[in-house]
């Protein structure tokens, strides 16, 4: 039995050694995301990532000097794109569709990994991920919201004075807050409530 296990370990080692460059890096990044989504930031270890990628810690540290650097790179390369802004001809329906896309991104493996970072990191550590969060999540979301709302202005559904940066932050801010504090999973009913009770009143033409 011991001989059998040794042979299996040797075969695994050979397979690991054959991987080089981008192939090995991709395996490490995927292992980091998988670990984050399952055990969270506090449970993530370089040993666990190495085991998941079927490589050694040295291979990781040659590329990333710390857990923070590894996770930041994994998130940058894997956060899902939201695609194009929906254009159904109705700003309310477009915003609902966009929120569903944002929710699906949050529930993906990389989205779950990002949430574990946001929820578990202390303030100092979280600052290291600020650019990842802003460039990978917040700005793409607000850019699409701005596009949808601007079309609403052209159609007369939205008052021109509503085109303000803070107004575009309302949806991602609410989704992140309620996910973190209230444990919301953002089903379709809750998304529609957010749009109907909060967002549409802010943007409609008769708002002050």
pLDDT tens-digit map of 140-167: 999 999 999 999 999 999 998 888 889 9
Mean pLDDT calculated for residue range 49-71:
94
* Segment (H or E) for 59: helix 57-61
Q: For residues 164 and 144, give the distance between their C-alpha atoms in angstroms, rounded to a whole number.
A: 14
Question: What pLDDT is attached to residue 16?
Answer: 46
Residue 204's φ and ψ, nearest 5 degrees, are -65, 155
- Residue 105, Cβ neighbours under 10 Å: how many? 20
How many other CB atoms sit within 10 Å of the CB of residue 52? 17
Q: And the tokens for 185? A: 């999973």
Residue 99 parent element (H or E): helix 91-107
């Amino acid at each position: 039995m011991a001989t059998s296990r040794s042979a299996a370990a040797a075969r695994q080692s050979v397979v690991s050694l054959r991987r080089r460059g981008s192939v090995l890096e991709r395996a490490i990044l995927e292992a980091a995301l998988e670990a984050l989504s399952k055990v969270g930031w506090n449970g993530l270890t370089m040993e666990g990532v190495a085991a998941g990628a079927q490589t050694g810690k040295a291979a990781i540290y040659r590329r990333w000097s710390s857990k923070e650097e590894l996770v930041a790179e994994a998130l940058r390369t894997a956060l899902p794109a939201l695609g194009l802004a929906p254009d159904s001809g109705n700003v309310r329906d477009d915003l609902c569709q966009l929120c569903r896309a944002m929710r699906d991104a949050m529930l993906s493996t990389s989205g779950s990994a990002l949430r574990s970072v946001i929820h578990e990191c202390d303030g100092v550590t979280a600052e290291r991920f600020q650019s990842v969060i802003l460039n990978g999540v917040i700005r793409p979301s607000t850019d699409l919201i701005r596009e949808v709302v601007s079309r609403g202005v052209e159609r007369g559904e939205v008052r021109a004075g509503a085109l303000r940066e803070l107004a575009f932050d309302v949806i991602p801010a609410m989704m992140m807050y309620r996910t973190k504090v209230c444990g919301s999973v953002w089903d379709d009913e809750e998304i529609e409530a957010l749009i109907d009770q909060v967002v549409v009143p802010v943007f409609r033409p008769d708002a002050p």
